[in-house]
Amino acid sequence: NAGVTQTPKFQVLKTGQSMTLQCAQDMNHEYMSWYRQDPGMGLRLIHYSVGAGITDQGEVPNGYNVSRSTTEDFPLRLLSAAPSQTSVYFCASSYVTSENSPLHFGNGTRLTVT
């Protein structure tokens, strides 16, 4: 199993550009989520999904969109990039039916917005 795969690993955007961060998992996990990691602030939840067709907002959703058309994929879209979105983004997934199964994380996407 590949686990949770995130692409790209690195990305530089100019202010106002849009892009999609990809996340795919091959563990048949129902729950998928996006976090951003910033120094001194830990990880903050952006959006999450408990299954195909179901998404909801986390703590810091502004400026980001998500969709969940399949169980495997959960892309994160930046609509109009801003310097404040410079961060490391992590996708994570887990089972829902086994409610305390741990989160599995991807290796992250480091995004710089200039």
Phi, psi for 107 (deg, rounded to 5): -90, 0
Q: What angle do CA 80, 86, 87 make, to 5 degrees?
A: 125
Q: Binders of another protein: how many residues, by CB under 8 A? A: 28
**C-beta of 38: minimal distance to another protein in Å?**
10
Instruction: Kindly state whether residue 64 participates in binding another protein, applying the rule CB under 8 A.
Output: no
Instruction: Kindly state whether residue 109 participates in binding another protein, applying the rule CB under 8 A.
Output: no
CA atoms of 96 and 84, how far apart (whole Å): 32
Instruction: Kindly state whether residue 48 participates in binding another protein, applying the rule CB under 8 A.
Output: yes
Instruction: Kindly state whether residue 27 participates in binding another protein, applying the rule CB under 8 A.
Output: no
Q: How many CA atoms lie within 13 A of 80 on its CB side?
A: 1
Tokens of 112: 């710089």
**C-beta of 67: minimal distance to another protein in Å?**
18
Instruction: Kindly state whether residue 35 participates in binding another protein, applying the rule CB under 8 A.
Output: yes
Place of tokens 């729950």: 31
**Touching another protein, residues 83-102 (CB under 8 A):** 90, 92, 94, 96, 99-102
CA atoms of 92 and 103, how far apart (whole Å): 6
Give residues in contact with another protein (CB under 8 A).
4, 30-31, 33, 35, 40-45, 48, 50, 58, 90, 92, 94, 96, 99-108
